[in-house]
């Protein structure tokens, strides 16, 4: 018996590729993060509802009213950022290089939202609405401030994605980071769509 | 019946019997703070009621949304796999029958 006859025959059929999961790990991770964030905001909104519904007069008569008009315009700015970002994600998935710049615009609009909100906060603080002034001020700054922190994180994430896009990091086969930042931005905008009418209009 | 299973049944029956012996109004009283500290028309009690309802509803809503999304993703995925198999069979049929090994 020769050594050649003992060797295993060469495998001619290709090894089948492992089946792709229905939900990728990155998508599952961002869903878990968003679920946890939703529960955090559920607790804060529950706190706000207790103060809001138990107060005989809301807002208290000696404290300034919230700037609903400016906040409404700011809401439009925030929601407008969804359009270029969605187009940019579609362009990345298709492998279209030119259409990816929407993420820059979305990050810029998010920065404008934060800047306007910061300016309004400074104005409110000067008019006497501080976190320690009443339950009204405390609940407002805690709830809206927590959302603003999330917007800040999302804007920083979008800015990072914009830099990586400029360097050609994303492609039609590799766009998980881009998609995750977009989903997180959707969450931040959707949350504001709930918080704005609750805090500013109700 | 095995002795472990009969013991478990006995414990459950004892728990059920002890629960039935408790007065009914104690079971229906609920939280001591909400039940006794506030009046019926107290706005604070109303605020707590709405807040508790919201806090109860949200986990179920979030869980249902996430589970529904996962279910749809799996269904879409299995439908895509079936479509791939049909395309492969049609391609094989168009190429002709496979040659049998000698």
List the 74-103 stretch of A: residues with Cβ below 8 A of B. none
Residue whose tokens read 């002709």: B96
Q: The complex's ipTM? A: 0.77
Residue B101 contacts A, CB cutoff 8 Å: no
Segment B39-76, tens digit of pLDDT: 777 888 888 888 999 999 999 999 999 999 999 988 88
SS (H, E, C) B75-98: HHHHHHHHHHHHHHHHHHHHHCCC
Nearest-angstrom CA–CA distance, A147 and A137: 15
A53–B55 CB contact, under 8 Å: no
- B64 backbone dihedrals φ, ψ, rounded to 5°: -65, -40
State pTM to two decimals. 0.76
Segment A101-142, tens digit of pLDDT: 899 999 999 999 999 999 999 999 999 899 988 889 999 999
- CA-nearest residue to B53 within chain A is A46
């Amino acid at each position: 018996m020769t050594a050649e006859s003992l060797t295993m025959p060469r495998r001619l059929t290709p090894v089948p590729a492992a089946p792709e999961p229905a939900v990728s790990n990155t998508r599952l991770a961002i869903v878990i993060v968003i679920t946890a964030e939703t529960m955090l905001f559920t607790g804060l909104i529950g706190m706000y509802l207790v103060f809001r519904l138990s107060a005989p007069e809301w807002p208290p008569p000696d404290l300034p009213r919230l700037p609903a008009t400016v906040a409404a315009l700011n809401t439009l700015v925030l929601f407008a950022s969804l359009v270029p970002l969605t187009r940019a994600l579609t362009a990345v998935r298709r492998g279209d290089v030119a259409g990816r710049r929407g993420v820059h615009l979305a990050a810029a609009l998010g920065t404008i939202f934060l800047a306007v909100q910061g300016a309004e906060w400074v104005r409110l603080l000067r008019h006497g609405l501080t976190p320690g002034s009443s339950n009204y001020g405390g609940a407002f700054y805690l709830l809206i401030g927590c959302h603003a922190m999330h917007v800040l994180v999302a804007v920083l994430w979008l800015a990072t994605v914009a830099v990586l896009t400029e360097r050609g990091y994303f492609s039609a086969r590799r766009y998980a980071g881009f998609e995750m930042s977009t989903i997180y931005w959707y969450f931040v905008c959707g949350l504001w769509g709930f918080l704005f009418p609750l805090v500013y209009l109700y | 019946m095995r002795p472990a299973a009969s013991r478990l049944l006995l414990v459950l029956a004892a728990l059920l019997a002890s629960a039935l012996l408790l007065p009914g109004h104690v079971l229906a009283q609920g939280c001591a703070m909400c039940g006794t500290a506030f009046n019926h028309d107290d706005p604070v009690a109303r605020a707590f009621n709405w807040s508790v309802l919201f806090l109860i509803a949200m986990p179920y809503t979030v869980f249902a949304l996430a589970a529904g999304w996962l279910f749809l993703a799996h269904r879409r995925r299995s439908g895509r796999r079936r479509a791939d198999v049909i395309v492969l069979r049609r391609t094989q049929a168009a190429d002709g029958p496979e040659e049998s090994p000698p």
